[in-house]
Structure 1
Amino acid sequence: MQKGVLLVNLGSPDSPTAKDVKPYLDEFLMDERVIDVNPVLRNIIVRGIILNTRPKRSAEAYSKIWWEEGSPLIVISKRFMAKVKQKVDLPVALGMRYGSMSIKEGLQELKEKGVDEVFLVPLYPHYAMSSYETVVVKAMEVQAEFFPEMQLTTLPAFYSNPDYIKILSKSIAEGLKGFDYDHILFSYHGIPERHIKKSDPTKSHCKLDGKCCQTNSVAHHTCYKHQCLDTTELVKKELGLPEEKVSSSFQSRLGSDPWLQPFTDKEFERLPKEGIKKLAVITPAFVSDCLETLEEIAMEGKHQFQEAGGGDYIHISCLNDRDDWAELMAEWINTWEKNGALPEYHIQ
């Protein structure tokens, strides 16, 4: 069998215009794992309400961070793929969960190179219905319909892989160099609380009571909140960061349903009142800088923090196309190619 690799990231509109943002948001928000309500209600919420106003606002936000080469997330993902390609002997393709650069196109590219055994790599460190899971499900659906001769093996969520934690920690240490911070905020993408309970295979462990994430359970294999908090703890330990100078929060909520807390924007308001004047923010739910990091955190977050009385503020870039990150991905791919082994990671 001929092996190959499909890297999959979130995706992006084709341009920072409302005309291109609207179909992108439609595909994204109509995903049943993103807005997981009755299909009729989802259609009303998305196409009857959100898409009448949000495309213009989102286009304005995209225009603030758009690069000459295109969408930062797409450009970075391509650069990352190019570096990985140099370090492996297998065909490597890139697809996006949403937008014109589809998973189907990525698999078709691999098929044309004779690939019939695919290593699927969702570029998300943590497991969540609305990110990792939707990529896997979509890839399986596309494979079953269009590429039945292909076999898929999926890279597990790698949030606690020791080598990944070392590289993430190194990038943070480099970002902090020369910055005399008062506090470091780990801001993760938010999800509705109901997603946590829906992803719990035991249907009883995840109570969102502040205690279940600290109690060993098989539920942690698919618990986004636990995995995010674990990432913070592992990095904190790796870098020897003071307990009192580190915290975690969740950004980008949508709608009025309960979402994971504390909210990042509320932390930007709270921290200055607690005497925090110099803040560093890291966004480890993303491996590539994108709208949620470059505009929401690096720009709007800085404004919110300073408006609330804060001072110096830095956003530490995602791993993007770092050489050591590309080398680690290549190492995982090469190990899979040789003996089918997947990266090690721990579950507490």
Structure 2
Amino acid sequence: MSKGILLVNLGSPDSPTKKDVKPYLDEFLMDERVIDVPYALRNLLVRGIILNTRPKKSAKAYSKIWWEEGSPLIVISERFKKKVAQQLDLPVALGMRYGSGSIKEGLQELKEKGVDEVLLVPLYPHYAMSSYETVVAKAFEQKKIYFPEMHITTMPAFYKNQDYIKVLSKSIAEELKGFDYDHILFSYHGIPERHIRKSDPTKYHCQIDGNCCKVNSVAHHTCYRHQCYDTTELVKRELALDDDKVSTSFQSRLAGDPWLKPYTDFEFERLAKEGKTKLAVITPAFVSDCLETLEEIAMEGEEEFKEAGGESFKHIPCLNDRDDWANLMVKWIKNWEATEVLPV
């Protein structure tokens, strides 16, 4: 069999305009693993309510972070893919879960290069049904319809891989040099609490009560909340950070159902009012900077923190296309190519 790699990231609108943002949001929000309610209700919520107002607001936000070369997430993903591909003898393609440059297009590119055994790499460190799981489900759906001859192996979530933690920790340490912080906030993308329970194979372990994440369980393999807190703890240990100077929160939520807490925007206010005036924020749920990191945290977050009394604010970039991050991905891929073993 001829092997190849498909790296998959979230995706982006084609431009920061309402015209292009609306179909992107439609595809994203109509995903049953993102808004996981029956189709009729999802259709009403998304197309009857959300898409009447949100595209204009989102387009304005995208325009604030858009680069001359295009969407930051797309540009960074392309740069990362190039660095990985340069070190491999295998074909490497890039796909997006939503928007242009789809997973289907990525698989087609590999097929045209003679690939029939694909390593699918969701560019998400943690497992969540609205990120990692939907990438895998979409890839296998496309395989069944268009590429039945292909064999797909999926890279597992790598949130606690020792080498990954070292690369992430090094990137944080480098960014903290010269910044006299008194607190570091690990802000992860939020998801509804019900997603945690739906992803629990035991159907009873995940209570989201502050204790279940600390009790060993098979549920942790698919528990986004546990994996996020685990990443924070592993980095804290790697960098020997003080417990009282580190905390975890969750950003980006829709109104209505309860989402994972504490909420990042509430934490900005709480920390400032408690006298934490010099704040560094890292967003480890993402490997590529995007709207949620560049606008929601680096812009809006800084404003919210300073309005609440904070003095200095530092957004620590994602791993993006760092050489050590690309080198680590190459290491994982070469190991799979030679031994079929993937990182744990």
1:92 counterpart letter in structure 2: V
Q: Which amino acid aligns with 1:29?
A: L
Q: Counterpart of 1:260?
A: 260
Give matches, 1:214-253, under 5 Å.
Answer: 214-253=214-253
Unaligned runs of 5+ in 2: none
Q: CA deviation at 1:256?
A: 1.3
Map Cα deviations across residues 251-277 of structure 1 (whole Å, 9 max, x no partner).
Answer: 001121010000000001111111100
The SS at the match of 1:120 is: strand
CA-based RMSD of the aligned residues comes to: 0.4
Which residue in the other structure is 1:183 paired with? 183
Using the size of structure 2 for normalisation, the TM-score is 1.00
Instruction: Report what 1:284 is aligned to.
Output: 284
CA distance in 2, matches of 1:207, 1:339: 38
3-state SS of paired residue (2:80): helix
AA of the residue aligned to 2:109:
E
Q: CA deviation at 1:176?
A: 0.4
1:313 corresponding residue in structure 2? 313
Moved over 3 A (4+): none
What is the distance in 2 between the residues matched to 1:120 and 1:236?
Answer: 30
Distance 2:272 2:57 in 1: 28
Provide the rounded CA distance (Å) in 2 between the counterparts of 1:12 and 1:20: 9
> Aligned with 1:299: secondary structure?
helix
Distance 1:127 1:65 in 2: 27
Quick one: which amino acid aligns to residue 293 of structure 2? T
Tell me the equivalent position of 1:84.
Answer: 84
CA displacement at 1:158 relative to structure 2: 0.1
Secondary structure in 1 matching 2:108: helix
Q: Which amino acid aligns with 2:44?
A: I
Q: Which amino acid aligns with 1:213?
A: C
2-side partners of 1:309 and 1:343: how far apart? 43
Structure 1: which 5+ runs fail to align? Answer: none
Deviation at 1:108, TM superposition (A): 0.2
Alpha-carbon distance in structure 2 between the residues aligned to 1:132 and 1:107: 17
Per the TM alignment, residue 88 of structure 1 is displaced from its structure 2 partner at its CA by 1.1
1:161 matched residue in structure 2:
161
- Shift, 1:40, TM fit: 0.3
3-state SS of 2:164 partner: helix
2:202 is paired with a residue of what secondary structure?
coil
Scaled by the length of structure 1, the TM-score of the pair is 0.99
Deviations 1:221-253 (A, max 9, x none): 000000000000000000000000000000001
1:293 aligns with 2:293: yes
Which residue in the other structure is 1:74 paired with? 74
Structure 2 equivalent of residue 336 of structure 1: 336
Residue 103 of structure 1 is matched in structure 2 by 103
- What fraction of aligned residue pairs are identical, expressed as a percent? 78
Superposed displacement of residue 122, structure 1: 0.1
Name the aligned partner's letter for residue 303 of structure 1: E
The one-letter amino acid paired with 2:234 is L
